[in-house]
A and B are shown apart, each in its own frame.
Chain A
Amino acid sequence: MPRVDLNTAAPDFELPDFNGNLFRLSDYQGKKHVLLVLNRGFA
């Protein structure tokens, strides 16, 4: 399983949120810092 490394470019991705709005990481470049939280699941 590859892991991402510090001080390298974050891999871009896009996913619809649970309301159906597309989230694209690169849309925030130059605008916001992004805290990404990978969850293991709620159940």
Chain B
Amino acid sequence: MAQLRQDHEHYQSRDAIVVAIGPDSKSDFQRYWEKNKLPFTGLPDEKHSVLKLYGQEVKLFKMGRQPAQMLIDKKGDLRFVHYGHSMSDIPGNEEIIALLDKLEAE
């Protein structure tokens, strides 16, 4: 999330918005956003409705749940889909920013 904050302006300049969704409560989101001064949208999804819709693996234990990233282009199509297998398995923002450059050039 800290990386996302740092790179937020790169997304903005490429006509992209960042939306983070998680299973935490509204107040947890509020606290986390204030503490970390995050400039993008945060959506609490306590019922896991979107998390399930997008197929994030929700295992029995919270520790089994891994982060995922998707890029949806202006047409509404998925152009990048990454499901993490471990906490360290998070794609570099460079990869996503390079893809945005490509999309903007289309």
Chain A positions within 8 Å of B, measured between CB atoms, are 1-13, 15-19, 23, 25-26, 28-43
Interface of A is mostly: loop
Determine the interface band of chain B, counting residues with CB < 8 A from chain A. 35 or more
B22 touches A6 (CB 8 A): no
B78 touches A39 (CB 8 A): no
Q: In the assembled complex, which residues on chain B have CB atoms less than 8 Å from the CB atom of A19?
A: 30
Give how many A-B residue pairs fall within 8 Å (CB-CB): 153
- Chain B CB within 10 A, most for which of A23, A37, A41: A37
B24 touches A33 (CB 8 A): no
Give B26 Cβ to nearest chain A Cβ, in Å.
Answer: 5
CB contact under 8 A between A6 and B80, given known A34-B17, A35-B18, A37-B67 = yes
